[in-house]
Amino acid sequence: MSLRRRTLLKVIVLGDSGVGKTSLMNQYVHKKFSQQYKATIGADFVTKELQIDDRLVTLQIWDTAGQERFQSLGVAFYRGADCCVLVYDVNVMKSFDTLENWHEEFLKQANPPDPRAFPFILLGNKIDIDGGNSRVVSEKKAKDWCASKGNIPYFETSAKEDYNVDAAFLCIAKAALANEHEQDIYFQGIPEAAVPENEQRGGCAC
């Protein structure tokens, strides 16, 4: 606990299996990319520190498993999230179609006080594949979807080529910071010092 104000943001990464969530993480945090696919089991946790204006921010990134069998971890994983990164593969239509479910599921489980204002971001990943020739989801289609969800910021990324990865995470961090309410409710919420049942006799003599 240092004297300087530091902020920790819980970032949840969601999307179908194989869209490149873990690869984006590895590129963003470790600056590494591996062609090999390894399914995430449950969740991976990585942290990344960055400075935004004069604030030190730590991103606690929850890289979740895309497979359905891990969805039962929902509530516990989403609790207290500050922002949510949705990822799809621009070359796989189904991964785009299921965004609707991920979005809905997240809001249901995390249950943020103001769902419309909750910071999401959408990443269309793997734009490098085949020079873009195998892509099936157009940028316009993705942007339209984002607009329908309350203007979610959209980034096209390539974890492999490290394209737009830093920019996307910086964007989500800023959005989460902007959504952060100052936490001054604690001191208002403290009840007056009250002694239960055994109330002392008399007042003070002063």
Partner 1 sequence: MIDDEREGEIRASIEPATEDAPSSPGSSGYAGEGGDSSSTTSGSHFEIEHEEIQEDTRIEIDRISISDSHTGWIPGKRHFDEDDASLSWRKRKKHFFVLSHSGKPIYSRYGDEHRLAGFSATLQAIISFVENGGDSVKLVRAGKHQVVFLVKGPIYLVCISSTEEPYESLRGQLELIYGQMLVILTKSINRCFEKNPKFDMTPLLGGTEIVFSSLIHSFSWNPATFLHAYTCLPLAYAARQAAGAILQDVADSGVLFAILMCRHKVISLFGAQKASLHPDDMLLLANFVMSSESFRTSESFSPICLPRYNPSAFLYAYIHYFDADTYLMLLTTSSDAFYHLKDCRIRVETVLLKSSVLSEVQRSLLNGGMHVEDVPPMPHSGSSHLGQQMLPSDSPDRFKEVNSGIGGPSGLWHFIYRSIYLDQYVSSEFSSPINTPQQQKRLYRAYQKLFASMHDKGIGPHRTQFRRDENYVLLCWVTQDFELYAAFDPLAEKDLAIKTCNHVCQWIKDVENEIFLLGASPFSW
Q: Which is nearer to partner 1, 121 or 146 (CB)?
A: 121
By DSSP bridging, strand 120-125 and strand 154-156 are parallel
Q: Cite the DSSP H helix spans in 70-132.
A: 74-78, 93-97, 99-110
The secondary structure element, H or E, covering residue 170 is helix 165-179
| CA quadruple 32, 37, 40, 41: dihedral, nearest 10 | -140
With CB under 8 A as the contact rule, the residue among 73, 107, 129, 177 that binds partner 1 is 73
Q: Which is nearer to partner 1, 130 or 182 (CB)?
A: 182
Residue 178 touches partner 1, criterion: CB under 8 A: no
| Rounded Cα gap, residues 60 and 46, in angstroms | 6
Q: Which is nearer to partner 1, 11 or 99 (CB)?
A: 11
Residue 202 touches partner 1, criterion: CB under 8 A: yes
Cβ contact 22:15 at 8 Å: no
| Rounded Cα gap, residues 26 and 206, in angstroms | 66
Q: Tell the smallest beta-carbon distance from residue 122 to partner 1 (Å).
A: 21
Site string for partner 1, 125-154 (x = CB under 8 A): ------------------------------
Q: Tell the smallest beta-carbon distance from residue 201 to partner 1 (Å).
A: 7
- Name the site residues for partner 1 (rule: CB under 8 A): 1-8, 10, 29-32, 41-51, 56, 58, 60, 62, 72-73, 75-77, 79-82, 113, 180-181, 183, 185-186, 189-196, 198, 200-206
